[in-house]
């Protein structure tokens, strides 16, 4: 016996009513903001007391899109938005107008090889085959901006794979880099929700030299792992000389504010292949 035909919906969909609302005759009552459907009323959704609803929307929208794209886990890349591509490093120095700018540009040039390392690591991660059900792991994800973020998205793009960008509205314009898959290019208002999406599917995290934003993401992840709020995962820190110049990790342990074994949460890297080999061993050991 064939299954019965499912009954038609009793109520019209929201889309049907939203379309119908565009053709309502204009009278004082229908022109009032009060008459707008709540989910079509932008002014209403932007009210101060609707913040909890906006939080929910920023949590839900990327989650649904990533599920629909069958993305099970991500390889997350953090790093500076200012480190130049090697081919552009000399132009950065030439554009300097004083000694301080020139010195900083030369230091950025010295770190430009990390653009290539991030690119190569993203290519390696992107070669992970989908599982039997079509779900994908280690999908490359960045903040969607320039520099290290661009290198990561570019590596995945050049492997012919989809790649994710989690952009955020900033006071100065920041467009997604052109290597992010358009259907996986997200924009956030709330830093907290963006940071949550970086980690909800993270299966490995690569951290390259960077500034305040990179520090923020890295130390939050270290804290979450240290406190057991996030399961252990490969946290690959590139640029030992840079990081040990700007942060004295050993001093934290020596001062007693972290345990010595907390330093083991970090795996130091310089090479893309070595980093990827570590990630593979990490999960092979746990599978065994």
Which helix (H) or strand (E) segment holds residue 62: the answer is helix 51-68
pLDDT (average), residues 249-271 = 97
Q: pLDDT category, 169, cuts 50, 70, 90?
A: very high
Q: In the chain, where are the structural domains located?
A: 57-287
* pLDDT tens track for 32-59: 999 888 999 999 999 999 999 999 999 9
d(CA 81, CA 211): 9
Q: Which of 157, 13, 130 is nearest to 72 (CA)?
A: 130
Q: Determine which helix (DSSP H) or strand (DSSP E) holds 141, and give its type and residue range.
A: strand 139-142
User: Can you give the pTM of this predicted structure?
Assistant: 0.92
Q: Which of 200, 156, 168 is nearest to 64 (CA)?
A: 200
pLDDT at 1 over 60: no
> 11-25, 143-157, 189-203 — which is least confidently predicted?
11-25
Domain spanning 57-287, CATH class: alpha beta
**pLDDT value of residue 6:** 64
Q: What SS3 state is found at 57? A: helix
What pLDDT, on the 0 to 100 scale, is given for residue 171? Answer: 83
């Amino acid at each position: 016996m064939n299954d019965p035909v499912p009954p038609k919906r009793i109520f019209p969909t929201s889309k049907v009513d939203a379309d119908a609302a565009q053709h309502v005759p204009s009278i004082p009552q229908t022109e009032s903001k009060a008459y707008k459907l709540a989910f079509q009323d932008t002014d209403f959704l932007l009210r101060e007391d609707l913040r909890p609803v906006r939080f929910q929307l920023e949590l839900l929208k990327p989650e649904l899109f990533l599920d629909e794209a069958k993305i099970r886990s991500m390889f997350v890349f953090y790093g500076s938005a200012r480190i130049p591509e090697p081919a552009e490093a000399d132009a950065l120095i030439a554009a300097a107008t004083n000694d301080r700018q020139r010195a900083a540009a030369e230091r950025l040039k010295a770190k430009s090889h990390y653009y290539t390392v991030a690119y190569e690591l993203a290519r390696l991660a992107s070669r992970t085959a989908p599982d039997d059900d079509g779900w994908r792991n280690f999908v490359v994800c960045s903040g969607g901006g320039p520099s290290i973020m661009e290198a990561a998205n570019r590596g995945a793009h050049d492997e012919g794979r989809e790649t994710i960008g989690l952009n955020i509205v900033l006071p100065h314009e920041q467009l997604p880099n052109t290597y992010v898959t358009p259907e996986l290019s997200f924009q956030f208002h709330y830093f907290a929700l963006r940071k949550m999406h970086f980690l909800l599917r993270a299966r490995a995290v690569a951290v390259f030299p960077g500034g305040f934003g990179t520090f923020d993401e890295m130390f939050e992840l270290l804290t979450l792992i240290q406190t057991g709020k996030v399961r252990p995962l490969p946290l690959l820190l590139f640029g030992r000389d840079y990081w040990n110049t700007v942060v004295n990790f050993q001093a934290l342990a020596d001062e007693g504010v972290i345990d010595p074994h907390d330093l083991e949460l970090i795996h130091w890297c310089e090479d893309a292949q070595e980093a990827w080999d570590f990630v593979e061993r990490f999960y092979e050991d746990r599978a065994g």
